[in-house]
Each structure stands twice: as structure tokens, then as C-alpha cells.
Structure 1
Amino acid sequence: MSTKNQETRGFQSEVKQLLHLMIHSLYSNKEIFLRELISNASDAADKLRFRALSKPELYEGDTDLRVRVSVNKEKRTLTISDNGIGMSRDEVIDNLGTIAKSGTKAFLESMGSDQSKDSQLIGQFGVGFYSAFIVADKVTVCTRAAGEPVDAGVLWESSGEGDYTIATITKEARGTEITLHLREGEDAYLDNWGIRSIISKYSDHIALPVEIENRTKVEKAVEAKKDENAEADQESVIDAEATDDAAQDPATPTETEETVTWEQINKAKALWLRSKNEIKEAEYNELYKHISHDFVDPLLCSHNRVEGEQEYTSLLYIPAQAPWDMWNREHKHGLKLYVQRVFIMDDAEQFLPNYLRFVRGLIDSNDLPLNVSRELLQDNKITQSLRSALTKRVLKMLAKLAKDDSEKYQKFWLQFGKVLKEGPAEDYANKESIAKLLRFASTHNDSSEQTVSLEEYIARMSSEQDKIYFITADSYDAAKSSPHLELFRKKGIEVLLLSDRVDEWMMGYFTEFERKKLHSVSKADDSINKLADEEKKPEQKEAEKALEPFVKRVKELLGDKVKEVRLTHRLTETPAIVTTDSNEMGTQMAKLLAAAGQKAPEVKYIFELNPDHLLVKRVADMSDDKQFAEWINLFLDQALLAERGTLDDPNCFARRINQLLLSL
């Protein structure tokens, strides 16, 4: 093979690290590499089919798309070839020399020494081509982009170490041919029957033929060489009788002829077009892995065909685990889009809202135009209708899972609960359905696990309770130990404990469920005051009247530090707390805005003192203004620390405590 413009280039540093992991048997299931390479070949065919809609000349007279696999035992090579879209020189460098994906370093940093965990991360990351180095000590790629001249082919070769070689070659056929030079000890992949088995297992769903090369050697008898002037027909004719005689006569000369045939291994029909009754779970799982590049079976699958005003087929999957880059802004998500069985695009995010970005799968529509683009999808009425229908289907899938298998649903919630919590703010139309899927930690369970549904909470509400109470905090422990819960513990009233960063933002849009208002216990509210012991109300009124001068004195002392000073009967162990008005921004929302780099308005707190606490009673009777000021400021700092987790001047707080301890 003649080459031109040959050069040696170094791998991107991240690729070197990935190849090191591959070469050292990252995958416990090595045969996965063949699935990945066939999957890539299938994608190349899909891309050609789509581009040829507007440029039929890209077919170059060959419209029979296929993937072919062949083995050469003598050379110890396994070759996977396709006649798909192919690659140009620049595309080869971009696709095989670098990982064109943001967040790569974060991905690599997330890997540890646990190989089983690492294999899952690799699968989520989707670097299927590099899996070839699991079994090969050298990989050769010959490719030519469809529509390019035959002398614009590209040769890429690497041993999977620090660099690779790239050159220009002549390649008659478009498409890509990948040759794996197998390592010693990988003889299993030189066996045709073994390769057949792997293809049948992993690639039966591929919607184009996957063929394997069969070579057959046949010995044929030949006659002795005739005179040059003999008749041509006498030179070539060997009838059946002569052949039989030759077989019996060892002196008869023979020659070996090798025939090559290609045998299709897979069904080559789009799985989603087949009847659900004839599809096995394993086939659904393998299609999921092809679509998502995940190495783990999905948690849930829904195959649905709709006919009527709109005609489409959807195949939706709920993964068993979140991808490593779920929170990366550039994380690609969405469905594979087909129109009338023709592949149009990957990652069509227009068909599902962002809070369902974990859903993988495909949609095949008969109504969208074949020339549809991402821009046209955005404002297309058909797209909007499909988005609404698919969203409802996903929510019904999850609702059924929650009802039928709570343990399995809990696995889903652990992986994707924080994402689903974005739903109430994004999707008003489906707010009630989303609310039923939410899970929380609560004071009902002595566990940080989020297992409590709102329906379960309401079922446990007492007759005197008319609101759903919750608290947001930086952590589960901070929420659980908050002084705001003292009255609720005393009265046996359940409180939801919210500690995810998204919770405060979610609750800003989620104010009611089944006609029950949701209320934060850190906000002032008459319903909380009503929960106090009724029989002590007269006694409390008298105490409040007697302490009016004390409250006025505290107000004058603190001035603008607080919005208001008042007495409270909701505390049992704590001298004071701070609260905010129900219509004002709370602590957690202010923190959320600050973390996002936005300027939040100053939170003005209501300072609430417990008149029944021994320390408050002592301070109320103090005549020394300096001592009084020190104690009141200490109470305020304690309340702020419990509410915010931080203080503006922690050193001052520590000094104040020390001085007061010395004065006792």
C-alpha cells in the first residue's frame, strides 16, 4: 500500500490515560469491544443514509449498506469494515487522536482503583473505539469519506502508547476498515464460531446487515495440460465422471480453490419496528447499550407505537445509573431521532424537558419532514405534541415503577432524584404528577435516605394539622437538629428534611399538593403558633405582657440588625431562633443565589426569644447594660449560626462566649 503525507502525532494526554486503562484490561468482559466497533460502524451507515437524502451521489453507486467482519488466523487479525460515511484526514485526527468532549479531566479524576467501577465509567463516557486495545497490541484504520476522491483515503495506525501514525492512501471503496492485530492469548477472537456468537449476542438489533466472512477450500481434479493448439473447450471441460475417477486415482493432478462468501448473522431489522411480543428483554437491553454506550442494563424500558392523528414509535429507557457528567452544562442528552425509519440526528433534546435529561432512547416519526433540523424542531407543532406525549409517558413509567416496585424505584431515586426535583419549576402542566414521584427524608424515619412520598406524609397527618411542613438546610444533620423542629417533635408532627442544593429552588415553585399548603418551619406563620398548647395560652399571654419591656429593650439594643423582635412558644430547649416572613427570601435561597454568583438581597431576620428558657429569664432581669448586651448578642449569634451555618465574625462569637463563661 503506497502512502503519502505520512506523519507521527502524539495523543492528547487524556487519551494516553484512557489507553493505559484499556490495555491493562479495564473491562472485565473483553468481548464488549466487538459490540462497540460494530455499533460505531452502524452509526456511520446511519449518517451516510441521512446525508444522502440531499446528496444521493454520496452513495457512489453502492446503496447496500452493511458491516463486515473477517478473521485471518495466519496474520492474527480481526477486521471490521463498513461502507458508511467514512472520515477525512481531519476527522480521523479529531475522532481518533483526541477526545472531543468537555470535562474529560474530571472524568479521569473520578476514576479510582476499583476496576468494576472504572469499567462502568468508561461505558458512560462512550469511548468505544479505544476498547479495541483491550485485545489488540496494534490497530490499523483505513478510511475514506463518502464523496471524496479515491486518493483521499486515510491510514491511521497505533500501538496504543504515546503516539499514532497517519498518512494519505488510495482507497477505492468509501467507508472505514478497522484491523485489530490481536495480542497473544486472545485466540478466542480468531474463531469464526466465537465471533458469530458475540455478534448474535450483542448486535442482533443493528438495523443493517452484519456479515461474517466464510472461506471454503475445495480440491478439484484437473486434466493434464493439452497441446497449445487444442480446442479451448477440450482444455476446460471436467465432467462429473472424470472427477469421480480422479478421486479414486491418486495419480490424477488436483488444485485447491478457495471460495469466499459473506453470511448475514443478525436480523437487520430495526428492533422498534418489530412486535413487542417477539422481542426478548435481552434484545431491548442490547439496543439500549448501543444507543447509550452504557455497559449496564437499563432499569426500565417502554416500547410504544401510536397511530391516529400522529404516527410514531418510541422506545424509552430509564438508565440504572447516572452518567458521570450528568451535571456538566455541556452534557449531551436527548433521543435518537428517526423519520420514516431514516436516522436524522443523535441527542435530539427537543422531545423531553431538561429535568428528564437522564432518559435515553429513540423516536421514529412518520409526520416530521426528512429534512428537519434542530432549529426547525424547536418551534415545530408536531415536536411540541410529541414532547408532551413522551413526557407523560416517562412520568407514567416512573409512577408505575414506584407503585409496583418501591425498592427498584428507590434505586432510581438515588441516581436521578436531584434531577427530577427540577421538574416542578420547569413543567407546570405536570407538576402534580412530578410531585407524586418526589421522595424526602423526614422526622418520621431515623434515616437520611429519601424514601417518604407526599402521599404517605398526608396519610399520617393529624386532624389539627392543615399544612405540610418542611425545613431546608445545608445537610441532613443540620436539618434534623434544627431548633425549628422542637415544637414539632413535642407535638409528634412530621417534618420533611430537605438538604439537596436544588430543594430551596424547587420549593419556591412547589407550594401546594392535594390542596395542602407546603410551609417552611423556618418562616413565621400563624399555623405554627396555633400548634402550641392551648391550655397554656392564658398563662403565656400573661408572661408576654410582663416581658414587653424586655422585648422593647432588645429591639432598641439590636436596632437594624434584625427586622423584628418577638417572643415565641415553639421552643423547648433553645433560648432563641431567627425566622423570616413567609413572603420573603429565606436563608437557603440566598445561599443558592450566592453560589450561582448572583447578588442576593440581604435577609432580614425576625429574632424570636423563648420566654420559658432559664437563660432568657435571667437575662431579662439583668440591670447591667453591658452584660445584657453581651448575652443578647450571644443569643442572636447562636440563632444565626444554627440557621446559616456560618457567622460574619466567628472570632467575636468565640471571645464573647469565653468572657461570659469567665463572668459566671
Structure 2
Amino acid sequence: FMVAERIDVHTRSATPGQAAVLWSSTGDGGFTTCSSYRQTRGSRIELHLRDDAKEYLDRWKLQGIIKKYSDHVLYPIELAELGDDGTEKQAAQQVNSASAFWTRNPKELSDDDYQEFYAHVMGGFVLPSDKPLLRLHVSLDAPIQFKSVLFVPGQRPVDLFGDDAKHLQLYARRVLIMDNCDKLLPSYLRFFRGVVDSEDLPLNVSRELLQEHQALSAIRRQLTRKALGLLADTAKDDRSSYDKLWREFGVFLKEGLHTDNAHRDQLTELLRFDCTAEGGKLISLREYVDAMPEGQESIYYITGEALEDLSQSPHLEACRSRGYAVLLMTDAVDEWVVQDLDKYADKPLVNVTKGELELPAGEASLDDGGEIAALCTSAKQVLGERIKEVRASRRLTESSSCLVDDESGIGRNMERILRMAGRELPNKPRILELNPKHPFVRAAQTLALEHEGDPRLTLWVELLLDQAGLAEGTLSDPAGTVRRIQRLLDEVAGVAEGGSA
């Protein structure tokens, strides 16, 4: 009655001698019955359309509705156009395909068949080069009956975010009931495209009630298990395809580690990261641990915006000098991943930009940092509240200085992400670490010991802070840095001092 002011149903039983009956209702809660003119067995349903629903008399409108919602029902649906006298103005033509791709035996389907159906799932048109990375054809009868064909697109669709994001088409007994059902897979698997059809879902309930239907929950559990199994098999047997999938959709799988505790172990094994030791190749946590040299007890990582910047960070120097690989994390969600996954295979995950970096003895090892104690004290006096602490570094082997965060702090990268999301955060002073092996730092230490009050010490300390900020892209006073560099160059060239630091 959404479009009709009255519905008439003419029906006649197949039992010999039974009269035809007309059932009629206007949707007001009542109905009438009387004899019908129908001469043959079967039923005829007549909709007397409201004045504001005459558009449904249009042949193309009806054809579109049939193709969208009932194209795959088992029985043929024919569309005829009648004249005013009730005779056929145009011969009846079958509109629906009366077949469902997902019910066919996968062994009888070719790659071309799947490609054609993939194009249908993706909206009817894909480029010849746009082939799915993976496909999954499922047919289950217990504990819940459903059939499904899913695809992982070859590249990230533009509609993965927002209200217009497409998910999976849901059919009940081959009738489309939801064109975009987001309850069939968890959100982190939203890059899958395809159809799901079940005989166990009712046709006569609202979409809101259907979303909470027990059968739908059972389908979701089974489909999630199958989808994760497909990803795991691909990661194991086809590294090239999985690496390509990860580059396109890995960020979504990382979300799952934060939201899906039930599948945490499976998702952990699916994680891939860029790494300083792999030359552009992705690495799993298992591969990282298996390749750890003797003496390494932790999994080291660094987070930030750009891969190139991270790979050149001074924070990596001590790890590099020992042959320790460092995971490079550039997705915003990585900050939550490392909070949820604090260890793997009993190896803790350690951020190389936070806290005191405890490393086995090596090139960057220190006893207590006392060899530059005078410089650290003087530097703190020069920098004041801008810096929380100045200390000797255990992580630097080549650079003179770097900035680090407290072990318990949220970290500079997390601050950046939260500020981009609109959060207001106070500017907390950070820790300045100095490399006691660096010639410039040694010279500054000598100056602090032998020439207390020398104005050059202030300049040099400011430059050490400038260099640390420049290395990580957080230089707060570029113009001041340029002036200080010029003063240092003047000193080297023997030009008379002038200006202030």
C-alpha cells in the first residue's frame, strides 16, 4: 500500500470444482472477499495505483526495479504492456535472468565468469585492467545456510568512507533486500565487495529488525572466518598479491586489531610493516623476530608521517650500528596498534623516540653520561623551560643531537594526529639528547668546562637544539636558526662576532 490505494487478488485453487475468489483491501485493516472472474488456476494480483504513484506504470521504471531486486529469483518474470481494452499492446518479455551466479558450482566457472560478475558487483563497468586481487566463493548449509561470492578489488575504491560507502549486497532467497549491508562483515573488512544470499533470512521484516536478526549474526561470524582465512592463505602462499593488498587495504586491517579482540591473534599475523632492513619490502612480525640477531631482546619501531623521513631519523642510529632492524610506521592508526600490541612472541615493542633507549653494549653505549655532564647542565640553563631535560644519548652514533619524549608521554606523532583531529593539547617540553662521541658536542663540553660564560656556548647549545628539531621536522624558529648558522659560519671564517644567539 506504499503505492496502491487498493489491492485485488484473484485466485483459483488447482482442486477441481473449486470456485475462484477475489480478495480486496484498501489497507485500512479490513478486507472483503467475493467470487472472481478467474477461469484458470493460479493467482493474479492487481495494484490500483495512487495518483502520486503513476510513475510505476512506466515500463522502464518497472524493468529497473525488477532487475535490481528480483533479477536472480528462480522463476522468470515477464513484463507486458496492455492497452485500454486489456489486450497485450506489446508481447510479454522476460526481464530477469532467473539465475544466481553465486549458486553455481565454482568448478564450472572460469576466470572470465568471475570477472564478468565482478564488474556487475562493482557497478556494471570496470576497466579490463581492473581485476580483483582475491575472490571467495562460499556455500554453507550449517550452522546457517548461505551462499556468497566476495572480491577484494585490485585498488582501493573511492567509496570506502562516509555514508556512501558500499559494502555487501544482501539477498534473501535470491531477492535483494539490502543493497548496502554493513553488518555482514566487521568494519575493518569493508574493502570486500560482493553478495550474500540466505534461505534462512525472512523477507517480511523491516531492515531495522533484519539488522539484529540472529541468522544475520551467524552469517557474519562464518563470513568473517572465511574472509580472514582467505587473507591468511594468501599471505602464506602468494606474497606478491598479499603485499599489494596490504599497500591498498592494510590500514583497515590494523583497525581490526583495535576493535576485534576475538580475532586479534589472526590479525596480528596478517600485519605487515616497512622496515629499515628490507629495502622497500614489507615484513611480518614473525619474520622480524626470526631475523633478530643474537642479543636483541626487543622489537624496535618508529612512527611518523613520511617513510623517507623516518628512514633517515637520527633516532635509528644506535639500532643500525648493532644491526637491529626498525619497523617504520606511517599510518595514523599505528599509534593505536602499538598500544594494543605491546609485545609479540614475548618480545616487547619499543619506540626508539621515547624514553631511555636500553640497548646491549655497543658503539653508542654509555656508562653514566658523566663525560658531558657540564655541557648538559649548561645547556639546560641556556634553554630553560623550553626543554625538560638535557642528557647524554644512548641512541645516537652519528648525529650530534635529537629530541625524545618521556617514556610515559603520548609522543610527538600522537600529538600531531590528535591536533589534526581538533584536540587542543598543551606544548609539553621534550628531552634533548646529545651524542657524547660527536666532535661538536665534545667541543661544546670543553667550552663548558674551560670557558664558563663564553657567549659561544649559548650559540652552540641553541644550534644543537635547532639541529634536533630540523632532523625531525619540528623546527620552531627557522629565521633564528638561519641567523645562528650564519654566526657560526662567521666564527669559522674569522669574522668578528655580532648579534645575539
Q: In the alignment, residue 313 of structure 1 is paired with which amino acid? A: K
User: 1:541 aligns to what SS in structure 2?
Assistant: coil
Distance change in 2, residues 1:553/1:272 (3 Å): same
Is residue 2:490 matched to residue 1:637?
no
Deviation at 1:212, TM superposition (A): 12
Counterpart CA distance in 2 for 1:564 and 1:627 is 21
User: Is the 2:402–2:468 contact (alpha carbons within 8 Å) kept by the matching residues of 1?
Assistant: yes
Distance change in 2, residues 1:491/1:560 (3 Å): same
Q: In the alignment, residue 386 of structure 1 is paired with which amino acid? A: I
After the TM superposition, which residues 48-67 of structure 1 pair with which residues of structure 2 at under 5 Å, given as runs?
Answer: none
Is residue 2:460 matched to residue 1:626?
no
Higher helix proportion: 1
Deviation at 1:600, TM superposition (A): 3.0
- Structure 2 residue aligned with 1:404: 237
CA RMSD after TM alignment: 3.5
Deviations 1:230-271 (A, max 9, x none): xxxxxxxxxxxxxxxxxxxxxxxxxxxxxx977869862222
Q: In the alignment, residue 311 of structure 1 is paired with which amino acid? A: Q
Q: In the alignment, residue 586 of structure 1 is paired with which amino acid? A: G
Deviation at 1:354, TM superposition (A): 1.7
2:295 pairs, out of 464, 475, 488, with: 464
Counterpart CA distance in 2 for 1:391 and 1:297 is 23
Distance change in 2, residues 1:650/1:171 (3 Å): same
User: Is the 1:569–1:611 contact (alpha carbons within 8 Å) kept by the matching residues of 2?
Assistant: no
Deviations 1:347-367 (A, max 9, x none): 110122222111111222334
- Structure 1 residue aligned with 2:106: 276
Is residue 2:428 matched to residue 1:600?
no
Distance change in 2, residues 1:56/1:466 (3 Å): farther
- Structure 1 residue aligned with 2:136: 302
Counterpart CA distance in 2 for 1:558 and 1:548 is 15
Counterpart CA distance in 2 for 1:317 and 1:56 is 43
2:192 pairs, out of 329, 346, 359, with: 359
1:316 pairs, out of 139, 146, 150, with: 150
- Structure 2 residue aligned with 1:102: none
User: 1:564 aligns to what SS in structure 2?
Assistant: strand
Counterpart CA distance in 2 for 1:647 and 1:390 is 49
- Equivalent residues, number: 437
Deviation at 1:648, TM superposition (A): 2.2
Distance change in 2, residues 1:60/1:422 (3 Å): farther
Distance change in 2, residues 1:546/1:442 (3 Å): closer
User: Is the 2:184–2:220 contact (alpha carbons within 8 Å) kept by the matching residues of 1?
Assistant: yes
User: Is the 2:358–2:394 contact (alpha carbons within 8 Å) kept by the matching residues of 1?
Assistant: yes
Counterpart CA distance in 1 for 2:469 and 2:210 is 50
Is residue 2:315 matched to residue 1:453?
no
Distance change in 2, residues 1:147/1:304 (3 Å): farther
User: 1:303 aligns to what SS in structure 2?
Assistant: strand
Distance change in 2, residues 1:374/1:662 (3 Å): farther
After the TM superposition, which residues 231-630 of structure 1 pair with which residues of structure 2 at under 5 Å, given as runs?
Answer: 268-293=98-123, 294-295=125-126, 296-326=130-160, 328-447=161-280, 451-525=282-356, 528-533=357-362, 540-541=366-367, 544-622=369-447, 623=451, 624-630=453-459
- Structure 2 residue aligned with 1:138: none
Distance change in 2, residues 1:552/1:330 (3 Å): same
Is residue 2:485 matched to residue 1:657?
yes
Deviation at 1:616, TM superposition (A): 0.7
Deviations 1:445-484 (A, max 9, x none): 233xx52222211111112112111111221110111001
> Greater relative contact order: 1 or 2 (C-alpha under 8 angstroms, separation 6 or more)?
1
Deviation at 1:210, TM superposition (A): 8.4
Is residue 2:49 matched to residue 1:148?
yes
Distance change in 2, residues 1:352/1:602 (3 Å): farther
User: 2:407 aligns to what SS in structure 1?
Assistant: coil
User: Is the 2:391–2:434 contact (alpha carbons within 8 Å) kept by the matching residues of 1?
Assistant: yes
Deviations 1:575-602 (A, max 9, x none): 1111112321111111111111222343
Is residue 2:471 matched to residue 1:648?
no
Deviation at 1:441, TM superposition (A): 1.6
User: 1:331 aligns to what SS in structure 2?
Assistant: coil
Deviations 1:564-583 (A, max 9, x none): 22112331211111111232
Deviations 1:158-193 (A, max 9, x none): xxxxxxxxxxxx958684469xxxxxxxxxxxxxxx
TM-score for both structures, normalised by structure 1: 0.59
- Structure 2 residue aligned with 1:239: none
- Structure 2 residue aligned with 1:40: none
Counterpart CA distance in 2 for 1:496 and 1:579 is 17
Q: In the alignment, residue 556 of structure 1 is paired with which amino acid? A: Q
Q: In the alignment, residue 112 of structure 2 is paired with which amino acid? A: A
Deviations 1:520-556 (A, max 9, x none): 111124xx4333328x96xx437x3343333222223
Distance change in 2, residues 1:284/1:550 (3 Å): same
Counterpart CA distance in 1 for 2:479 and 2:205 is 63
Deviations 1:264-300 (A, max 9, x none): 6986222223333333333333233222215133222
Deviations 1:429-454 (A, max 9, x none): 2222222222222111233xx52222
User: Is the 2:305–2:330 contact (alpha carbons within 8 Å) kept by the matching residues of 1?
Assistant: yes
Deviation at 1:332, TM superposition (A): 1.8
User: Is the 2:5–2:49 contact (alpha carbons within 8 Å) kept by the matching residues of 1?
Assistant: no
Q: In the alignment, residue 153 of structure 2 is paired with which amino acid? A: P
Distance change in 2, residues 1:452/1:153 (3 Å): same
Counterpart CA distance in 2 for 1:58 and 1:420 is 50
Deviation at 1:615, TM superposition (A): 0.6
Counterpart CA distance in 2 for 1:320 and 1:58 is 48
User: 1:529 aligns to what SS in structure 2?
Assistant: coil
User: Is the 1:532–1:569 contact (alpha carbons within 8 Å) kept by the matching residues of 2?
Assistant: no
